[in-house]
Structures are given as C-alpha cells and as structure tokens.
Amino acid sequence: MSTTLRETQTKSVCWLEDVDLSDIGLVGGKNASLGELIKLDGIKVPNGFAITTEGFKAFTKPLTEQIRAHIDIVRRDGYRDVGLLEQTSRKMRALIESQEFDEELRTDIATAFGCLDSLRNVAVRSSATAEDLPEASFAGQQDTFLNVSSYEDLLNKIKKCFSSLYTARAMSYRHEMGIVEEEVLISVGVQEMVRADWHGVSGVMFTVDTETGNENLILITPHRGLGEAIVQGEVKPDEVYVLRHSLQVIQNPKGLLDDAEFSDLAGQALAIERHYNEQYDRRIYMDIEWAKDGETEEIFILQARPETVHSRKVSLKRYYFLDEREDFELLTRGRPVGMKIGQGVAAVVKSVSQIDSVQEGQVLVTEMTTPDWEPIMRKVSAIVTDQGGRTCHAAIVAREMDIPCVVGTEIGTKAITTGDEVTVSCVDGEHGTVFRGLRHFDVEEVNLDNIPETRTKIMLNIGSPEKALAAARLPQDGVGLARLEFIIASHIGQHPLYLLKIGKEDFFVEKLSAGISRIAGAFYPKQVIFRFSDFKSNEYANLKGGKDFEPVEKNPMIGWRGASRYYDDRYREAFKLECLAVRNVIDGFKLDNISVMVPFVRRPLEAEKVRRIIDDEGIKANVYMMCEIPSNVILAREFLQYFDGYSIGSNDLTQTTLGLDRDSALVSHLYDERDEAVKTLIANVIETCKDMGKSVGLCGQAPSDFPDFTEFLVKAGIDKISVTPDVAVKTRLLVAEIEANM
C-alpha cells in the first residue's frame, strides 16, 4: 500500500490488506477473511477498506440505551413472537438509519473513498463479528449493496448495513446459535466493483459437494451477471464439477468460462482451503464467491467463508431410503438440497407477510425465500421453492438447518395446494421430488466411529452418475459394478452405430466420458469397476436409431449380447467408442482407479478376441470378466488366462444354471440364487480363482436381499461383495460379525 493510503488509516477506517483473521473483532468475519486472502499468492481481491467496529460503536454510542431497551424486549418474549420480533426490528433499524455521522467519521470515510478507483462504483457489504465463522455462516443475514456510485449514497448504504445487524432474521439466527446480542458488532466493507454485470460472469464454488459432502469434486456454480442473483434465487446457475486431485473439468455444460479458467478457479479454491485449514488447525471446506470482470477479463475472489455443514465432524449419520415399491403421484421436481426425506401438510405461501400462517411440521411451499423467512423456516419439515439453484438462499439455510429442500421446481406453488399431504425426497441423485401423499421411507442410523473393517471388501453397485456422489459417502471399499448401459440410456439415448453413421460419434464419447469420470471421481482413489455395455438387442433397438442396426430375436436374454457383440464386424466400431471413452478418462482425467469388465463371455475364444481389442485400444487398467454362465465355471482356468479376475453375476448365473427366464412370471417362483446347484458353482469358481491368484467378487442382487447368502460367500473366501447402496452398512456389519466367528 502506498504512503498516501496508509495515512488514511484511523481507528474507524482501515484498509483490507492490513487485516487478517486475528482482526475479526475489529472488522468482522467477512472483512477479516478478505484481508487474509489478499496475502495469498495467486489470489486477486478487489481493492477496498473497512469501517471498523470502533466506527460502528462511535456511530451508535448516542443510541446505546435505546438499543439496549429494544434488545431486552426481544430477549423477554420476542423470539417466540414473530410479529413482535419484526416490529421491534423495524424500530431499531429506523433508529440507526436516522442517526447522522459525526464529522470525524464522515471525513475518514470520504478520504478512504477518494483513494479508490474513481471510474468504478463500489460494493458495500456488511461484516459482523459473528459472521463467516466455521460454526455459523449467517448467510444473507446482513445487507449488501452493489454499484454504489456517490459519496452521499455510500454513507446511506453504510447506515443500512449498520442497521441490518438488527434484522429479525439476524436476531433470530443469533438466538438459535446461542450468541449474546450485546457481544455482536458490525463492520462494513467497501470495495471496487468487479464488473460482472457488464459481459462478466460470477458465481459460487465449494470445495465439497454441497449435498453429499463428497470432497473429491469441487462444485462451481457460474452464471452471467452479478452473483447476488444466484443467492436470491433469481437464476438457476450452471453446475461445473472439477476433480480435486487433478483439477480436470469433468462437467462444463454451458461453457460460461473455458475449462482452463475453471481449473484455475478450483486451484485457487484449494489454496484457500489449505490456508484456512492451517489457520484453524482442522479440516474445513470452503464456500467462495468469485467474479470475472467483463472489461478486464480478470477473475477476482470476492469472499471466502468456511462451509458450515460438512466441515463439522459428525459421528452419527442418518441415511434415508424411499420405498421404491410404492407408486405415488409425482407433483413436481427440482434440485435437491440435503440428503433427507420430509413430509407433512403443505402450506403454500406467496409472501413473507403470510409466514405466521405456517404451522410447525408443515411443508413450506413458496416462490423463493429470503433471509426474512428464516424464523419460520426452522419450524417446517421440508421446503419447496419455484425458483433458485443449489446455492440460493433457501438452499444455503435449509442445508445448515438440516431440512430437506427442493429448489427450482418452477411450478411448485401451482402443482401443490395448501392442505395437501406431500412427501419431499432429496435422496434420488440430481432430482429432488415432491409426491402426493405420505410415502413410506426408512432411516438407517449409523455411528461412523463404530464401522468395522472387514477382510471381505464391501463394494457398491452404482446405476447412474447422479447417485455416485452420495453413495461414495457410505462406508464402502469402492464400486464393484458400474453399468455403462445406464449412462448410455440416460445421458446419450442414441444407438452408437447410428451416431457413427451420422458422424456424431464424438458426442457419444464425450457424454460417456463425463458419466464415467463422475462416478470414478466420486469414489477416487478407491477402485471402480465399469462393465462394458450389456444391453440386449431389444433394449438396443429402443435407443434412437437402434432399430436399423438390431436384429429381432425371440429370446434376447440369451442372444446377441455382451462379448459376442464386441468383436463382431457388425458392432466392433461401436465397442471401440466405449473403449475410447474409458481411455480418455484414465489418461485425460488421471483417474487411475478405473477397472473394466466384460460381460457374458461364452467361450475362451471370445475372451481372447475381446481382450485383444481392449489392449489394442490402449486401455491401461485391470480387466475383469463376468462369471455368469456354467461354462465360465467349468473352464475358469482357460477364461482367466485373459483377465485379472472374475466378478460373479449371480443373477445370470442362476438363470443359466437353472435354465429359466428370470423375466418370466411363470417360472419366477423357481428362481433362487441360494439353490444348491448355483452355490456349488460359485464355491468352485472361488476356489479356482484363489488357486490361480486371481481376484474374485460377486455383484448380483442376492447379497443385498439374503444375509444367509452373504454368509455363504464370506465363508467360501470371496474377496469382495458388491451390493446396492441401501444395504451397504448392514452388509458390512453382517460380514464383520461372520468373519469374527469364523
């Protein structure tokens, strides 16, 4: 800082670059954090100054007795009475805003304001002493004003920031957090504006996934214009994911910034996180606001605060599972917030003036919340909004309050009527759903400190990339089965040969790569085994353009599927696209935790042909084979010459051993993985794999459904069992008990 600027420093005004986290009492959490960031290499922070808490105390000194009297009213009975709290708040704010600055403080502010770039407007932000701390965020509690241009307007906005210390929402929040009113002071930060509103981009980024707590992917939510629109729920921002370990961008739908810029932002986020971890001497994730100036194209960090939900060390964890057997009417869907399920009677509220009508335990349905809604948000069982994305106000507060919330439904207030019984589910991947009626759901409570280690690895079956982030937070040892056909069906929807025909094979590879990297990234560095596509011909035909390339088979279940396709001249080029996507993710995204698996290999000659293609396509990974027909057991030694191990598919192995169609209701009563013939084959193949030093696991449905089958597998010496996420915890506990008694 120049000598001229230093001379402007007073007890009431100081420059941001002269403060750090030790000065929270002087400049509040937000300003102290900005001062800390300025000192970090590679982090750009807009120039600015702070009106200190000493300045605030000097400004409000003539009002001390009146403010204290109002606080006593609130403390006595205002927290329970929302109307009284609002009324008292209005009186306190009017009192402060009518107060005039003394000449000394006016002069100090004018001198500092004159040192800023005269061509830029300023942002005026509140910074309370109990704000942006690891224990409490106070998101949106105090006021912020952008594009302030004149000195007189600056003074007016500073007074409004001062008075926002006593909004009803802020006082209610402090009461809930056990913070004493008299101990809280406020500072105000004044910074040169970053012109994101003029052809610029702004957003928020988190060094942890906001819903699941998965730290492997950094979430960045950009949009064109000022960041306030995101928090206020006026826009649905884009969602960009960056891998923590490699800073590779794996999801950039709209390209508001290029991948290199997002990678650089993620790198800055991690540098900030490391610095805060050192400062607080514990693991803390970060919530960071940023903006790209539309004139200079420079990227600035505007704010950094500790993330307050997943940074807490929690031993007791609750997992929610919706009963999928029930068929309920879907009313609306949006973005999920909080991995929970809530239900109750809906209260559709269009205005904050109506919040007194909301009863405890109801489901709040509204267009969008603001900080003024917070006193009632604590009482509801769930929240549904028409507007907003995962970093809007409703999402931030609901996440901190541990309330399930679905934002951005667009039609929630129209689709739901006051008095409707509804279920709000936030446990189904990227979609939050609202159903009519009270659906049954299960809650599994787990003490994470008591999860035992097991010799047998407990892995997961993962169907879609959307569910990977949440599933990776379960106690698990990786993914034993991730099906590429699920990604193809839900994210591509077109037959690969059709895309090759029309010259859009790059689209197939790009989308498949994104899905693969999302799953592998979520579980990194644990092993994730991707099975190459195993559609049957009738399922392939249902993809766009598929009917022109698929035969009509009378029994597709045992027809042209799996390995028999991969080396066939009629399909080989499509299989190579899958190989290319896998290779791209391993090499380009540096996700070396990926393994691949070949399904339905009927003869050793097929194994040899397919393995040669995989090697020729440059995939450097472990390659496994599904063991799902009797020939795989009988000729295991021949098959395993070409693979690193077996994964037993108990569903198909049962079907082919017993000679029945598992899709036929007529013989479904005969289908049982615990049949002695099936178990004998499984025991034999486990023994063979052990003898050959090959890995052996099982990824069928049976361990998820039958504890006695799990016991059989463990006692037979299987290396890993892959189950559905809903039974991951109970399977680990069961396996630990079995191993302890062996």
Q: Each residue of 546-559: pLDDT tens digit?
A: 999 999 998 888 89
Structure tokens at 330: 């879907």
Which CATH number does the domain housing residue 421 bear? 3.50.30.10
More confident residue, 676 or 391: 676
pLDDT band at residue 2 under the 50/70/90 scheme: very low
* CATH number of the domain to which 301 belongs: 3.30.470.20
Is the pLDDT score of 648 beyond 70?
yes
Of the residues 306, 335, 350, the one at which a domain ends: 306
Q: How confident is the model at residue 140 (pLDDT cuts 50, 70, 90)?
A: low
List phi, psi (to 5°) of 496. -60, -35
Confidence category of residue 180, pLDDT binned at 50, 70, 90: confident
Check whether residue 576 and residue 473 sit in a common domain: yes
Please tell me which residue, 233 or 160, carries the higher pLDDT value: 160
Tally DSSP H helices, then E strands, for the chain. Answer: 28, 28
User: What is the average per-residue pLDDT within 456-472?
Assistant: 90
Could you report the per-residue pLDDT of 259-268, keeping only the tens digit for each?
999 999 999 9
Q: How far apart are CA 156 and CA 122, in angstroms?
A: 13
Q: Are residues 561 and 618 in the same domain?
A: yes
Q: Is 321 within 8 Å of 441 (Cβ atoms)? A: yes
Instruction: Determine, yes or no, domain membership for 528.
Output: yes
Strand partners, 365: 348, 384
* Least confident span in 23-32, 73-82, 481-490, 561-570: 73-82
**Measured distance CA(51)–CA(684) in Å, rounded:** 76
| 414 closest CA partner among 468, 483, 365, 473 | 365
- Reported in sequence order, the residue ranges of 57-176 that DSSP labels E, i.e. its strands, are 122-128, 144-148
Q: Are residues 505 and 614 in the same domain?
A: yes
From residue 417, how far is each of 343, 358, 380, 412, 426 by CA, in Å? 14, 13, 16, 9, 20
On the question of pLDDT at 137 being above 60, the answer is no
In a domain, 643, yes or no: no
| pLDDT at site 6 | 45
C-alpha span between 417 and 423 (Å, rounded): 13
Give the C-alpha distances (Å, rounded to integers) separating 694 from 69, 636, 688: 77, 11, 8
Q: For position 4, what pLDDT does the model report?
A: 39
Radius of gyration of the chain (CA): 30
Q: What is the CATH number of the domain that holds 548?
A: 3.20.20.60
347-405: pLDDT as tens digits:
999 888 888 889 999 999 999 887 678 778 878 999 999 998 877 778 878 887 889 99
Q: What is the pLDDT of residue 5?
A: 42
Same domain, 403 and 341: yes
CA 496 to chain centre: 30
Specify the pLDDT at position 181. Answer: 85
689 within some domain? no
**Taking the alpha carbons of 553, 555, 558, 562 in that order, is the dihedral positive or negative?**
positive
Does the pLDDT of residue 682 top 90, yes or no? yes
Local structure of residue 489 (DSSP, 8 states): I
Write out pLDDT tens, residues 417-455: 999 999 999 987 778 999 999 999 988 777 777 889 999
Per-residue model confidence as pLDDT tens digits over 210-222: 888 899 999 999 9
- In Å, how far are 128, 169, 397 from 373, measured between CA atoms? 20, 7, 10
pLDDT of residue 313: 64
- Whether 622 shows a pLDDT value over 90: the answer reads yes
Non-local (6+) Cβ contacts of 114 within 8 A are none
Judgement on whether residues 100 and 220 belong to the same structural domain of the protein: no
Which residues share a beta bridge with 703? none
DSSP annotation string for 49-75: EEE-HHHHHHHHGGGHHHHHHHHHHII
- Whether 393 is catalytic: yes
Q: What CATH number does the domain containing 31 carry?
A: 3.30.1490.20
Quote the pLDDT of residue 467. 85
Q: What is the mean pLDDT of residues 602-608?
A: 97
Query: Kindly report the CA angle at 96 between 90 and 102, in degrees rounded to 5?
Result: 170
Q: What Å distances lie between residue 209 and 29, 468, 472, CA to CA?
A: 23, 11, 11
Between residues 162 and 667, the one the model is more confident about: 162
Q: What is the pLDDT of residue 541?
A: 93
What pLDDT score was predicted for residue 614? 98
Measured distance CA(616)–CA(544) in Å, rounded: 29
What pLDDT, on the 0 to 100 scale, is given for residue 361? Answer: 93
**In the chain, pLDDT over 90 holds for what percent of residues?**
67
Q: Are strands 363-366 and 431-436 parallel, antiparallel or unpaired?
A: unpaired
Q: Residue 367 is encoded by which pair of tokens?
A: 């267009």
In which element (H, E) is residue 366 found? strand 363-366
Q: What residues form DSSP beta bridges with 333? A: 433
In a domain? residue 566:
yes
Contact present, 191 and 204 (Cβ < 8 Å): no
Write the CB contacts of 274 (distance below 8 Å, at least 6 apart in sequence).
none
Do 438 and 466 fall within a single domain?
no
Question: How far apart, in Å, are the Cα atoms of 703 and each of 88, 144, 244, 676, 726?
Answer: 60, 54, 33, 16, 12
Domain contains 633: no
Is 679 part of a structural domain of the chain? Answer: no
CA 188 to CA 112: how far, in whole Å? Answer: 13
Residue 526 belongs to domain spanning: 455-624+701-740
162 pLDDT tier (thresholds 50, 70, 90): very high
**Closest by Cα among 686, 702, 603 to 647:** 686
Q: What share of the chain is helix, strand, coil (3-state, %, to 5)?
A: 45, 20, 35
Per residue in 281-311, pLDDT tens? 888 999 999 999 988 999 999 999 888 777 6
Q: Catalytic pick from 175, 393, 495, 579?
A: 393
Give dist(CA 458, CA 497) in Å, integer: 36
Residue 170 confidence class, pLDDT cut points 50, 70, 90: confident
Angle separating helix axes 572-588 and 505-523, nearest 10 degrees = 40
Q: What is the pLDDT of residue 134?
A: 56
Burial of 460 (0-12, 13-18, 19+ CB in 10 A): buried
Strand bridging mode 186-192 / 48-51 = antiparallel
Instruction: Report if residue 556 sits inside a domain.
Output: yes
Assess whether pLDDT exceeds 60 at residue 135: no
**Domain boundary residue among 192, 219, 253?**
192
Same domain, 588 and 472: yes
239 plus 342 within the same structural domain: no
Domain identity same for 430 and 480: no
Of 444, 477, 497, which residue constitutes the final position of a domain? 444
Count CB atoms within 10 A of the CB of residue 47: 18
Whether 458 shows a pLDDT value over 90: the answer reads: yes
Query: What mean pLDDT comes out for the span 251-264?
Result: 94
Based on the residue annotation, tell me whether 175 is a catalytic residue of this protein.
no
Assign 133 a pLDDT band (cuts: 50, 70, 90). low
What is the rounded average pLDDT for all residues in the chain? 90
| Preceding peptide of 525 cis, ω within 30° | yes
Number of domains composing the chain? 4
Residue 3: per-residue pLDDT: 35
Q: Do residues 173 and 232 both lie within one domain? A: no
DSSP state of 191: E
What confidence tier does 139 reach under pLDDT thresholds 50, 70, 90? Answer: low
Give residue-wise pLDDT tens across range 718-732: 999 999 887 888 899
What pLDDT sits at residue 720?
Answer: 97
Q: Are residues 257 and 233 in the same domain?
A: yes
Please indicate, yes or no, whether residues 351 and 413 belong to a single structural domain of this protein: yes
Residues in the chain: 742
Whose CA is closest to 88, among 311, 512, 375? Answer: 375
Q: Is the pLDDT of residue 337 over 90?
A: no
pLDDT at 302: 94
| Strand pairing class (240-243; 249-251) | antiparallel
Measured distance CA(98)–CA(160) in Å, rounded: 10
Active-site residue among 14, 405, 579, 699? 699
Does some domain include residue 239?
yes
User: Is the distance from CB of 731 to CB of 723 less than 8 angstroms?
Assistant: yes
